Structure 1
Amino acid sequence: MPVRAPRPRTGTAAPPSAAARPSPRPGTLRRAVAFLAAASAVVAGMTGLVGGLTSQAATTTTTMWSSTTVPKVPADADRSSVEIGTVFSTSTAGSVTALRFYGTSANVGPHVGTLWDAQGRALATATFATTTSSGWRQAALSKPVNLVVGQGYTVSYRAPQGRYAGDHGVFSSGRTVRNGSLTASAGVYTYGSGRPTQTYQGSAYYVDVAFSTGTPVAARPTTAAPTATPKPTTAPTTPTPTTAPAMTGWPTAANTGVPTGTTLSPYTGPCTITAAGTVIDAKTISCSLDIRASGVKITRSLINGTVGTGENTTGYSFSISDSEVRIGAREGTGVGAVNFTATRVHVNGGNRSMHCYRDCVIQDSYVHGQYRDDTGRMHESGIRMGSGATIRHNSITCDAPDVPPDAGCSAGLTGYGDFAPVRNNVVEKNLFKATTGGFCAYGGSSQGKPYSSQTSGIVFRDNVFERGPSGRCGFYGPITSFDTRLSGNIWSGNVWSDGGTVAASN
């Protein structure tokens, strides 16, 4: 009889059984701003001296965690074979020379580490020496791997018998681990093969790299030798691009949010925006923005709060791009609810990341990290759709823990027929990451709901559903309450992350 593999967790509590789990409740490449900053060798030729003196930039090796770091939980109770790792990026050009992780005698090998790029391609592997001692273990790469500034990478290793190190909350609410030029943004895992991408309660699994900033970095290839360029008589200006390059790979914390290299200054304007056409760029905003004007534009900013228009407002609109919204460990919706466009936005915290009540576009964004509701009452989700939503090429999950009697995730994407009709929505080319909820998506036609019979024009097309520990994305399945018999509802080209076809659930 198959046994449901547990997800990585800390502590010794066993995962809930299917019988004990609550029934489903009704109801994160960064646009690379990559300026390479490698130190050049300085050659000093001195006339009259025997020979020449050459000085080279000193090699500096950095890790995300120091060798004195000891996890609070050095050996989790999980005994399943699992690939666990860390998502990270660098702000300085350099090379990974070795892989490392924290282990104890309980974490039995053999252990093979892998360095992955943002597209899930293995860049290098290394085999760790067998040891029974506790502490940081390191394996050198046969050849250093050059990294690109601002691009997301994952370093991982296979723990064939579990018992890995792991602590909850290290990456919760958008927190990161930074040391020198390295920034770790998420702990990830997979019980399958390939690059790990799933997260759980902001956990860190203490997988690391040795990163050298003194190793020469290969130059970009050129098609022809450059010709001499006349010295300009006036200083050149760099035009600001009107559109960002197309995103490569799934949205993650590494390729959404504030671009690397952006300098933020405190926002001193009003929290209630009433001036049409207001532009907010490169700011740290320490309040929730209430949009009561049209054409408001928010770019390259960190919002410690929420931003939105009310559900029943008219005449107000805004766009938000290349920004991070940190709702915090509290009730709240990060971005909503009518007449808005969100592009390359990273949202974490709150009980709902985004809400498109009416007429919005959500694209190339990453939503996750909803908070633990200790009141036991919040039905949480990544994105909630109402009417007129285009939800395209996002990474969507809800990963909040269940709290009795009724708190936790309904689904990554919810369409509730309780409050208004769910209709005319296009949901395409998204990655539905495994959720702690019953399903990864609700289609909006739950039987018995006041408006479920009015559901129409819902298109689920070319989405990818990630298998969770249950093997079904959500605890019970990928999608529920989606009826292809209703007018205009279309289910087409939706697949599992391992390539299998996903069937719609009526």
Structure 2
Amino acid sequence: MYARISHGSTPGQPPREVMFEWGILMNIPWPRLRKATVPTILAVLLALIVAAPGTSRAAAGSTKSGVDADPSQPVTCPCTLWAPTDQPSSGPDPDEVATELGVKFQADRDGYITGVRFWKDAANTGTHTGTLWSAAGARLATATFTGESESGWQQVNFAQGVAITAGTTYVASYQAPNGRYNADQGGLTTAHVRGPLTAPASETAGGNGVYLYGAGFPDSTWNDTNYWVDPVFNTTDTRGPAPAVIEISPRPGETSVPVGTNLTATFDREVQPSTIHWVIMYGEGSYPPGTTTYNAATRTTTFDPTDNLPFGGYSYSVELIGVKSLDGTVMPTVSWQFTTAAGPPIT
């Protein structure tokens, strides 16, 4: 037998309830306890109710949302657990503590996780990161979300897809630095299946819908809560190799470089112009201003200093950082040095 304890909620929402084994309550020697002890015990029990994400009033009245897809129906990858039209049934949780929120999942075939999605409420602010973990807590990939919309589904792609094995459990998570995440209690009480992906039922997965206050591997659970996190699955790694620089001017180690020289680099494939970042240093960390351009036809980027580089045999350190191919693969940082001419040319 069980005893049910209810406590208040916001108007229009059902009371929150917790089930206890009646035998446990009966074994407590109530007559021997002082009157002040009973309220204390009840206060502790109620404190446990509100000690985890998704237990605030905003989430308390939520129910399981989304519809399990028929796995026999074909789904064109990239594949996700949740359809673009799926969304939370509750508003943002009032919790404003930095929290890592995730979901355990499996795929029915070998493939690659190429990114992470999460549902964002307008109140869920700050810089978000997405991470793929092994079931044991090993970080397999992470990336920072950019260009987010005010609300709705947000997606970040990893620099390279991570190979996963059929039937193996992984965790996809995102960091909500200011809280205010969406949390639907009971959303993972039963398994959620869509195409090749499954979020196993909380009971069979050792808890699903996972969280961690702060940053790190989310391994705590509460009430089968769906925090609306989603892995992006592909049957092949859709990303090509990282770009590479095949020609540089001035050349690495070159000396007596004319002060009016522009810096150029040519890539072996097309890149995203907005991701080209030149870092040029000389002297005590000085950074000459200039303009960066990109010619897609020749795959060449040019840095044109605003003023001529100074004479005097200065040694320059150059880096190209953050350059991405058209499919988002990041090029490792390329660095080299050159030295300007020692004095004005003799005429």
Give the TM bin, normalised by the shorter chain. 0.3 to 0.5
TM-score under structure 1 length normalisation: 0.32
**The structure with more helix, counted as a fraction of residues:** 2
Normalised by the length of structure 2, the TM-score is 0.46
| Bigger relative contact order, structure 1 or 2 (CA pairs below 8 A, ≥6 apart) | 2
